[in-house]
Amino acid sequence: MTKQKILVLTEQFTNECPLFDPLRDAGYDVVVNETGRLPDEPTLKEMLSSGVVATIAGGEPYTPDVIASAKDLKMIARWGVGYDKVNVPAATEHGIPLAMAFGQNHESVAEYAHAMALSLACGIGRRDAMVHGGTWMFDGFHPGLWERTAGLIGLGRIGGAMARRLNGQSMRVLVYDPYVTEEQAEAAGVEKCDLDTLLAESDLISVHAPSTPETRHTLNAETFAKMKDGVIVINTSRGPLIDEAALVDAIKSGKVYGAGLDVFETEPLPADSPLRSCDNVILSPHVSGMDKMAEKRVTLRCVYNILAWLNGDPKELLPYVVNPETLKI
């Protein structure tokens, strides 16, 4: 009898990874994407055409057409917390739960965002290059961050973890998040405010919001113009939240002192992107949530979500499923 197949489609694993052994022990044939790249839509459609009951998904496109053609697919377990590449209504229509790894790598992402901010504020990158290049000199005072003002766009798990780090270095932390109450803001040690106030008063702005039609280009030419001169901008959430052309203009004008970007409007970042030639910009290939702790925690959450749906108790999935109506419990 042919084993039911589970595909691991993220880019960072091999078939030898022992984290998938619980799936193998349960009798499934686990096939890991070892190409180092995500499948495009036609490739994904072909891969899911027969015998695949679940995927551990990366950022590949689960379009309505892909989902409709995946006749045996029973679950999409997303490696991470963003699901903008999955058409949730289509998955729901076909009774396919979209299970996330909520609560497993938010500290990793926040740590990465904080590291980017500190590196830019302390001039670490340029000074490292200077000394490696044979120069030893005082090159001016760096901006620093302690006792300055930070602005967070979004106060979910990642934004909250970032706020704790910023509070720890004596920063005033402003938050713009329409879904956060005054009580929640107070508990997090932050000040809730409107977007214009955050833009006008922040020395550091870090984006921690989902990608939706409403949040697209939250940072654009108009909002950059409202910022302080010399602001630092960090984005480890989703690329479409920032208008990259407007960001490049803001960097070149000096409005933005530096930017740390782990996500982009188009990924991989095109070779001709003007961001590649901007000074004082840290570019990173969408890896902020991928430290060693997250490797284990996120992967096992995906594995346990699949096993709970295919072999266990669907009620265990309630904290993780985006479309709980598919669970029918």
Is 286 marked active-site?
A: yes
Query: 44 to each of 59, 94, 227, how far by Cα in Å?
Result: 11, 17, 42
Q: How big is the chain by its Cα radius of gyration, in Å?
A: 21
Type of residue numbered 56: I
Three-class SS of residue 130? helix
* Alpha-carbon span 207 to 218, nearest angstrom: 9
Q: Is 56 left (phi over 0), alpha (psi -120 to 50) or beta?
A: beta
The one catalytic residue among 46, 147, 186, 267: 267
| Token digits of residue 285 | 């290939």
Q: Which one from 78, 106, 208, 286 is the annotated catalytic residue?
A: 286
**Is 132 an active-site residue?**
no
Dihedral class, residue 27 (left if φ above 0, else alpha if ψ from -120 to 50, else beta): left
Q: Is omega for the bond preceding 270 within 30 degrees of 0, making it cis?
A: no
Mark out the alpha helices in the chain (DSSP H runs).
21-25, 41-47, 64-69, 88-93, 106-121, 124-132, 157-168, 182-187, 195-201, 221-225, 244-253, 292-310
Lay out the sheet containing 281-283: strands in order across.
191-192, 172-176, 149-153, 204-207, 231-235, 256-261, 281-283
How remote is the C-alpha of 55 from its chain's centroid? 19
3-state secondary structure of 31: strand
Which of 238, 244, 295, 301 is catalytic? The answer is 238
- Asked if 267 is an active-site residue, the reply is yes
Question: Active-site residue numbers?
Answer: 238, 267, 286
